Amino acid sequence: MGLLNPNTYVVGVDSASNIFARDVLGNKNDTHSGDSARAVLELMDDHFHKGQQCYPDLDDAITVASSASAWTYGAYVEIIPVNTITSDFDIHWLNISAISANDEYEVQFATGLAGAEVNIACASFERTAVQSQEGSISMQGPIIPANTRVSARLASKAAAANSANFKVHYHTY
């Protein structure tokens, strides 16, 4: 009986053939974008252990205005320009400041070029006379491909054009 070639038992990186159990378990070099169980573990490790970043960094937060109609979104405002974050990333926190009026708000984030935005996540917040809710709130969304433009639009309960300023906190992969 001849010796077995050890390479016949090693699945290729990010293999999706699912013919053998080794295809599903994965290669130790699988990346976070693969389909194997190992790739999912790599993705989770990147997510939980890479440092959080802030955008805009060392700059003013970006103002987003609502429509003057109740619960109607205003225009999209670019938050992260195309080709700014050069690794895949996801947004987990929004820092909100300078909320213009006591009201209930909803902010919608989108990816894509101007005029072709696709909604990826939504978060709500409020400012009341008793307690301003300025600060950070969580927002869960998908992994966004590197170099993608991100924009946001705002709606409020009032029939008035209100606004709030935003910075995003994100992780890269």
24 and 95 belong to one structural domain: no
38 and 67 belong to one structural domain: no
**Averaged pLDDT of the chain:** 86
Alpha-helical runs (H) found in 32-167 = 37-49
Where in the sequence is the domain holding 63, given as residue range(s)?
53-172
106 and 161 belong to one structural domain: yes
Whole-model pTM: value is 0.78
* Average pLDDT, integer, range 123-130: 90
60 and 41 belong to one structural domain: no
pLDDT band (50, 70, 90) for residue 1: very low
Query: According to the model, what pLDDT value does residue 22 have?
Result: 57
Of the chain, the percentage scoring pLDDT greater than 90 comes to: 61
pLDDT band (50, 70, 90) for residue 49: confident
89 and 117 belong to one structural domain: yes
| Distance, first Cα to last Cα, the chain | 46
87 and 27 belong to one structural domain: no
Closest CA to 169 of 90, 60, 111: 90
